[in-house]
Amino acid sequence: MNHTGNVDASTKDPRSLDAGSTDTDTFGPAGTLDPGSTDTDTVGSGINTAGIGPRVAGPSVMAHITAAPDVLSISWSNGEVSEFTSLWLRDNRPEDRDAHSGQRLVDIADLPEQPRIRAVQLHGNAVRIEWQDETTPTSFDSAWLAAHAPAQQPDQPECRITRWLDGASMNAARDFAWATTGELESHPRLKLEWLTRLLQMGMAFLSEVPATDPAILDAMALAGRVCETNYGLTFDVRSVAQPENLAYSDLGLGLHTDNPYREPVPGFQALHVLLASPDGGDSLFADGFAIAEHLRRTDPESFDVLTQTQVPFRYRSKDAELYAERPLIQLSCNGEVTAVHYNNRSIAPLRLAAADTASFYAAYRRFALLLREPRFQMTFGMRDGDLVLFDNQRILHGRTAFSSARHGRHLRGCYLTRDSVFSQAALLRRELNRETLT
């Protein structure tokens, strides 16, 4: 079946085309192309069921098209309507992409300011657009248009995060993904599941990681790209005399994120237990995104202050001088919480006007008190060979105190770039689904 239909968009009045039309149809006075074929494909309730029919399975089945000079409107069979402006369509012409890399060959300065649609035709699963001032038409695959519709949210499973507020009711062994490195290496689908749950929940675990020097790097090569810092590719968390960082002491550590003084902030952190303490040193975790949303609900004024106040963070040692400023709660342009940065040990003296100081400290205290609430904290006694990998811009971590005089405790850590972990999941899904780059 390869039917076509036409919509003339050369007038101000939108013209429309039912996806059940055929190439023999002409649009009537109202601009609607009535279906005329005897094809029995069903494209939606109230929509003529003959003719071109469903283009592809799923939500990208086109039911009805309306075209005007400045906009193409597609009604999908699931009832949703997407509008694509002529400039957006012109900017996304497949012809303007490099055939090999897929990268765009033009920029906005190369495009007409007001490209105008002259006519639209349906060709199989494609929408063919003729332009008023250009001779070369453009074809868009309907599935591509559905995937890139303006209101369409990214559909990668790893981006559908699950916030967990009530950490005290969580069980690390039960509620998070666990695997061994051997399982990740041998079973790609299990690895994809593990990575996806890591990104949705913010953390995941490995077990039976050997207590050898390179084991953490070998294991993390399965998850992303390790980044080197002034601490090295890896760092050892154990008590030392006169530590440059309180992490290297016996002290308990309240919930925090690591290295907010760094640019960029480490994306993910891995901690591998080489020697667990049988007496203290339990790990604490909480979902900073969930607690930030709790603050937004219960104390929106404090939430706003923490998203709008630049907080200085500093780390100084004999071989590093690090400084960065960022809000404790970071938002995207549309107001979603995208990062939490909280580390009381490295907050530098704030440079706030007196009028802003009280409101900041009140909000800061409110957030700190939330982080101390036991109900939000998941406690877990990690064992030798366990490894936890977590989103350092979302999951806060801490530990209970321990006594190195009575029992040794030794963890080895490293940081991974944030994008590399997301890439690892998306790449594996692409390979397993045999998707192509274009």
Q: Which residues bind Fe ion (CB under 5 A)?
A: 258
CB of 401 to Fe ion, least distance (A): 15
Instruction: Give least dist CB 343 to Fe ion, A.
Output: 8
Please state the closest distance from residue 93 (CB atom) to Fe ion, in A: 48
Residue 18 or 258: which CB sits closer to Fe ion?
258
Choice between 250 and 258, CB closer to Fe ion = 258
CB nearer to Fe ion: give 139 or 417.
417
Closest distance to Fe ion from the beta carbon of 92 (Å):
43
Output 34 or 258, the one with its CB closest to Fe ion.
258
**Smallest gap, in angstroms, from Cβ of residue 147 to Fe ion?**
39
Smallest separation (angstroms) from Fe ion to the CB of 392: 8
Residue 186 CB partners (closer than 8 Å, separation 6+): none
Rounded least distance, CB 390 to Fe ion, Å: 10
Left (φ > 0), alpha (ψ -120 to 50) or beta: where does 354 sit?
alpha
Q: Is the Cβ of residue 84 or residue 231 nearer to Fe ion in the bound state?
A: 231
Nearest distance in Å: CB 140, Fe ion = 48
In the bound state with Fe ion, the residue whose beta carbon lies nearer, of 50 and 389, is 389
Distance CA 378, CA 433 (A): 35
CA distances from 247 to 282, 293, 410 (A): 14, 28, 11
Is 407 within 8 Å of 137 (Cβ atoms)? Answer: no
C-beta closer to Fe ion: residue 15 or 399: 399
Number of neighbouring beta carbons within 10 Å of residue 193: 16
- Which C-beta is closer to Fe ion: that of 25 or that of 258? 258
Interatomic CA distance for residues 438 and 436, integer angstroms: 6
Nearest-approach distance from CB 256 to Fe ion, in angstroms: 6
Residue nearest to Fe ion (CB): 258
Q: Which residues contact 408 (CB under 8 A, 6 or more apart)?
A: 238, 275, 277
Q: Closest separation between CB of residue 377 and Fe ion, Å?
A: 15
In Å, the largest CA–CA distance within the chain is: 90
- CA 329 to CA 308: how far, in whole Å? 8
In the bound state with Fe ion, the residue whose beta carbon lies nearer, of 410 and 429, is 410
Please give the backbone phi and psi of residue 202, each rounded to the nearest 5 degrees, phi first: 95, -10
Nearer to Fe ion, 170 or 411 (CB): 411
Nearer residue to Fe ion within complex by CB, 143 or 255: 255
- Terminal-residue alpha carbon distance, the chain: 25
* Residues with Cβ within 8 Å of residue 192, at least 6 apart in sequence: 425, 428, 429, 432
Q: Given CA atoms 366, 368, 369, 371 in this order, what sign does their dihedral have?
A: positive
Q: How far is the CB of 258 from Fe ion (least distance, A)?
A: 4
